[in-house]
């Protein structure tokens, strides 16, 4: 770990000074590939071309992998994490080679094909479901949140449920588990694991390939490999190793807010939840064992990401744990119906309409809960200080509590059992 840390420091400094400095408002001429799936937001087409974020007119529509030439003025913008991004606002764009051209690299054509399937699934959801139900389904199943109505997106942020529409480790576990189960019925055991991992990779690309889903995919794949080989899986060590390797490959990834939240939430579930659940179990007769475990997972994740949310966004909802506890069991149902709807939409439209009617029920329940809590006149937790000292103190106290709780794990369990007797 020390060697990896030292190597990361070298990579980090190299990454900071490896790119050419481009003066703000200078005119540039660039040739490169569209490296993200373009999307529309308020009649503006947004995409990434090499290391530049680009805003353009809604037409012509560009696709991932298009080889283009840009002419425009550079504008510097600060991200939520305080990093500088280079933007080109309405530049002149000329397509040199479309994605489906023979000259396009094979990897780009493969990824573009997967994105094409993703776009088709979004269209199926949009054709068969009203809004915001269609966008919510696309978010839960595919991690697409850019087509959400502004009011509903604001409600998700206010209630602390915006993470639901980001493909996560839960999605990976569902996809991997389904693949392992289905493939295991028809194939030899030695073929199941590689095909399941291939399925995870394809889903990761389809879900957008953002850092949180990549982390979840790596950890999920390693978990299945450990299970396949009959080895013990140590979640915290795998989280640490995965995070360090990802940061080693892309050193500036540590500034990505999504990556920070993903790692912190996973740490909270793995390390904090086991210490919280025995405390929450005092009310097991009132809540029930399953609900107590769900609350432990929710609080573990929420407490771990609290400083990150406050630093980057300035406020956090008081009711977030309660809302998450209520809607958490709706997410797998929505994901299941979304998968059925996607399959039926490709195979038989009449069947897809029936599935859409069934899918509407959990979607409507989710939307009603989020909108109701958003309407409550409650002020969020706010903070004006962006100092790193209180963040460091918060996590130091958390680590100390986890360490102290784990010194005598059996004592808490015995106490809880005695209360249950």
Residues 265 and 159 in one domain: yes
**353 domain residue, yes or no:** yes
**421 domain residue, yes or no:** no
Residues 32 and 122 in one domain: no
Q: Rounded to whole angstroms, how far apart are CA atoms 178 and 168?
A: 16
Q: Is 229 exposed, middle or buried (0-12, 13-18, 19+ CB in 10 A)?
A: exposed
Residue 413's pLDDT band (boundaries 50, 70, 90)? very low
**300 domain residue, yes or no:** yes
Tell me which residue range forms the domain holding 38: 22-103
What pLDDT sits at residue 277? 80
Residues 366 and 289 in one domain: yes
What pLDDT sits at residue 411? 47
**419 domain residue, yes or no:** no
- Choose one of 103, 127, 157: the last residue of a domain: 103
Residues 88 and 137 in one domain: no
Q: What is the pLDDT of residues 83-116, one digit of tens each?
A: 677 888 888 888 887 766 555 677 788 888 888 8
**299 domain residue, yes or no:** yes
Whole-model pTM above 0.85?
no
Peptide bond into 60 cis (omega under 30): yes
Residues 86 and 123 in one domain: no
Q: What is the pLDDT of residues 250-272, one digit of tens each?
A: 887 888 888 888 899 899 999 99
Residues 345 and 259 in one domain: yes
Contact between 360 and 129 under an 8 Å Cβ cutoff? The reply is yes
Residues 45 and 184 in one domain: no
Q: What is the pLDDT of residues 10-27, one digit of tens each?
A: 666 566 555 556 777 778
What pLDDT sits at residue 20? 59
In 3D space, the residue among 336, 324, 262, 264 whose CA is nearest the CA of residue 291 turns out to be 324
What pLDDT sits at residue 359? 95
- Choose one of 103, 125, 153: the last residue of a domain: 103
**10 domain residue, yes or no:** no
- Evaluate if residue 405 carries a pLDDT over 60: yes
**258 domain residue, yes or no:** yes
Residues 135 and 30 in one domain: no
Indicate the number of domains in the chain: 2
Residues 200 and 84 in one domain: no
Place of tokens 């029930």: 288
Residues 184 and 302 in one domain: yes
Degrees (nearest 5) of the Cα angle 135, 141, 142? Answer: 80
- What would the two tokens of residue 241 be? 């190793």
User: What SS3 state is found at 263?
Assistant: helix
User: What SS3 state is found at 44?
Assistant: strand
Place of tokens 């991004």: 85
What angle separates helix 409-420 from helix 273-280, to the nearest 10 degrees? Answer: 30
Give the residue with greater pLDDT, 273 vs 280.
Answer: 273
Contact between 360 and 266 under an 8 Å Cβ cutoff? The reply is no
Q: Rounded to whole angstroms, how far apart are CA atoms 64 and 110?
A: 11
Residues 52 and 148 in one domain: no
**Helix intervals (H) in 314-380:** 320-327, 330-347, 349-374
Contact between 85 and 49 under an 8 Å Cβ cutoff? The reply is no
Which whole number is the average pLDDT over 369-379?
87
Give the residue with greater pLDDT, 178 vs 287.
Answer: 178
Degrees (nearest 5) of the Cα angle 358, 363, 365? Answer: 105
**8 domain residue, yes or no:** no
Contact between 6 and 31 under an 8 Å Cβ cutoff? The reply is no
Contact between 247 and 227 under an 8 Å Cβ cutoff? The reply is no
Residues 81 and 149 in one domain: no
State the CATH number of the domain containing residue 47.
2.40.50.140
**Helix intervals (H) in 159-210:** 169-186, 189-206
Which whole number is the average pLDDT over 30-43?
84
Q: What is the pLDDT of residues 124-173, one digit of tens each?
A: 999 999 989 999 999 888 877 666 788 888 888 888 888 777 777 777 87
What pLDDT sits at residue 344? 92
What pLDDT sits at residue 415? 42
Return mean pLDDT, the chain.
Answer: 81
Q: What is the pLDDT of residues 209-238, one digit of tens each?
A: 888 888 988 988 888 888 778 888 888 999
- Choose one of 65, 84, 103: the last residue of a domain: 103
269: which DSSP letter? I
Q: What is the pLDDT of residues 166-199, one digit of tens each?
A: 777 777 877 777 787 788 888 877 788 888 888 8
What pLDDT sits at residue 184? 80
């Amino acid at each position: 770990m020390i060697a990896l840390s030292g190597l990361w420091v070298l990579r980090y400094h190299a990454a900071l000074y490896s790119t050419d400095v481009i003066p703000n408002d200078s005119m540039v001429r660039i040739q490169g590939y569209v490296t993200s799936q373009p999307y529309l937001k308020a009649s503006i087409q947004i995409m990434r071309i090499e290391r530049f974020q680009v805003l353009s007119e809604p037409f012509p529509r560009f696709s991932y992998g298009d080889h283009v030439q840009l002419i425009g003025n550079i504008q510097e913008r600060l991200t939520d994490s305080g990093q500088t991004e280079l933007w080109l606002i309405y530049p002149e764009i000329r397509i040199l080679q479309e994605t489906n051209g023979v000259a396009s690299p094979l990897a780009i054509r493969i990824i573009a094909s997967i994105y094409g399937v993703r776009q088709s699934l979004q269209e199926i959801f949009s054709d068969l479901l009203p809004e915001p139900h269609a966008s919510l389904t696309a978010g839960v199943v595919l991690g697409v949140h850019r087509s959400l109505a502004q009011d509903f997106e604001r409600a998700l942020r206010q209630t602390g449920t915006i993470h639901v529409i980001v493909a996560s480790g839960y999605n990976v576990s569902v996809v991997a588990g389904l693949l392992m189960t289905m493939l295991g019925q028809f194939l030899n055991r030695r073929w199941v694991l590689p095909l399941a991992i291939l399925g995870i990779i394809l889903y990761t690309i389809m879900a957008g390939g953002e850092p949180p889903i990549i982390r979840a995919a790596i950890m999920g794949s390693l978990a299945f490999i450990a299970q396949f080989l009959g080895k013990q899986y140590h979640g915290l060590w795998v989280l640490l190793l995965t995070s360090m390797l990802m940061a080693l490959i892309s050193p500036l990834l540590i500034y990505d807010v999504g990556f920070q939240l993903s790692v912190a939430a996973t740490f909270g579930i793995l390390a904090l939840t086991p210490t919280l659940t025995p405390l929450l179990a005092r009310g097991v007769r009132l809540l029930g064992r399953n609900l107590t475990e769900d609350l432990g997972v929710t609080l573990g994740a929420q407490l771990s990401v609290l400083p990150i949310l406050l630093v980057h966004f300035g406020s956090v909802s008081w009711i977030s744990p309660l809302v998450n506890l209520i809607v958490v069991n709706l997410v797998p149902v929505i994901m299941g119906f979304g998968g059925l709807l996607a399959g039926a939409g490709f195979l038989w439209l009449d069947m897809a309409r029936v599935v859409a009617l069934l899918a509407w029920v959990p979607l409507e329940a989710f939307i009603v809960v989020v909108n109701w809590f958003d309407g409550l006149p409650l002020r969020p937790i706010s903070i004006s200080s962006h100092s790193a000292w209180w963040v460091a103190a918060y996590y130091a106290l958390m680590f100390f509590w986890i360490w102290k709780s784990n010194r005598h794990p059996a004592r808490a369990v015995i106490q809880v059992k005695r209360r249950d007797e």
